[in-house]
Amino acid sequence: MAISRIDLGGAGSPEALVKRILQVEPNLSVPVPIQEMCARLGIFRIEDLDADEFEGGLVTNAKRSEGTILAKRGGEPRRRFTIAHELGHFLMAHHIPDQPGRFLCKSSDLRRLTAKEGDQRQRREVEANRFASLMLMPPHLLRGAMAAFPEPDLHHVLALARDFGVGKETAARAYVQYHPERIAIVVAGNGRVQRCYRSLSFPAIICAVGSPVPVHSLYHSSSHRPDIPSDRAACSPDLWVDVKRDLRAPVIYEQVYLQLNGFAMILLRLEPVPEESAEERRLEESWRYRFHSGRR
């Protein structure tokens, strides 16, 4: 690996940093060797973090020329994301820590996708997460991997997580973001909605975070086997999205992946609604008029 800090001069955003790294390292292997990259960019030690309330940390010298990353022990994909997240803090000079020379990040920080207006700390965490996601799943490599998966399927999410060495939820977020179809993935824990990720073309999901998974969802089927994605099945669209009156309802398919720890992923795929012809609309309106007027 040939990358050095000199190659990153002037790059301040997550996207600019990753673009510069990929220009210097066009032949990165998968999984991306994130620890080797850290060593090339000034992180000389990666140590275990023993603190229940924090997931990761970064300690640097005053000039931010070298540093040590702290990462909690656990599953390797989770640890890799923590390391990449802290590397993002290290490389973005405008990331000023709460304590001089020391960042400490909670689990919630490593899941943060949006920041409240004016909250600079949250903004830093969002940027570090964008860097980690882009670095561990470089878009050009992700596009190549996803080209083999034209139909949305949770088997593909699991394959991406395995091949790129990332967590299932990290893979799910990227999958939803880059898949060309209208899809969403709902993360559930112990029967309640925890997080939702959806493509830009997928309508807003009406189930609030913390609410129970809809009782008629495929999630509640007794036929699921842990760690094996289910078959896809059509569901009533109003379980998940707002169905407008007087408009043809969309078709939504569900697929469920249950994990042994009580968590689950629910893939939602929205089929395009065929356009009604003028004749179909005229007939529908005439039948509605007959119904309400009592005519035959």
What would the two tokens of residue 114 be? 């949006």
- Classify residue 205: in a domain, yes or no: yes
Same domain, 131 and 188: no
Same domain, 130 and 214: no
Same domain, 196 and 82: no
Same domain, 101 and 202: no
Same domain, 129 and 213: no
User: pLDDT tens digits, residue range 92-145?
Assistant: 999 998 888 899 999 999 999 999 999 999 999 999 999 999 999 999 999 999
Instruction: Give the span between the Cα atoms of 225 and 230, in whole angstroms.
Output: 8
3-state secondary structure of 280: helix
- Classify residue 127: in a domain, yes or no: yes
- Is residue 200 within 8 A of residue 283, CB to CB? The reply is no
What would the two tokens of residue 248 be? 């043809």
- Classify residue 81: in a domain, yes or no: yes
Same domain, 130 and 196: no
What would the two tokens of residue 2 be? 């040939």
Q: How many domains does the chain fold into?
A: 2
What is the chain's mean pLDDT, rounded?
Answer: 91
User: pLDDT tens digits, residue range 29-58?
Assistant: 999 999 999 999 999 999 999 888 999 999
Of residues 177 and 261, the one with the higher pLDDT is 177
What would the two tokens of residue 258 be? 């249950």
- Classify residue 13: in a domain, yes or no: yes
- Classify residue 278: in a domain, yes or no: no
Same domain, 12 and 69: yes
Centre a 10 Å sphere on the Cβ of residue 292 and count the other Cβ atoms it contains.
Answer: 8
What would the two tokens of residue 265 be? 């992923």
Same domain, 55 and 118: yes
pLDDT surpasses 70 at 295: no
Which residues face 163 on adjacent strands? none
User: pLDDT tens digits, residue range 50-90?
Assistant: 888 999 999 999 899 999 999 998 899 999 999 999 999 99
Same domain, 17 and 127: yes
The residue among 105, 136, 167 that closes a domain is 136
CATH code for position 117: 1.10.10
Which residues face 270 on adjacent strands? 252
Using alpha carbons, select from 10, 34, 148, 155 the residue that is nearest to residue 86: 34
- Classify residue 75: in a domain, yes or no: yes
- Classify residue 124: in a domain, yes or no: yes
Task: Give the sign of the dihedral formed by CA 23, CA 140, CA 32, CA 261.
Answer: positive
Question: What range does the domain containing 119 cover?
Answer: 5-136
E strands in the chain: 43-48, 56-60, 67-71, 102-105, 183-189, 192-198, 233-235, 251-258, 263-271
Same domain, 116 and 185: no
Bridge-based pairing state of the strands 43-48 and 67-71: parallel
- Classify residue 291: in a domain, yes or no: no
How much is the pLDDT for 280? 53
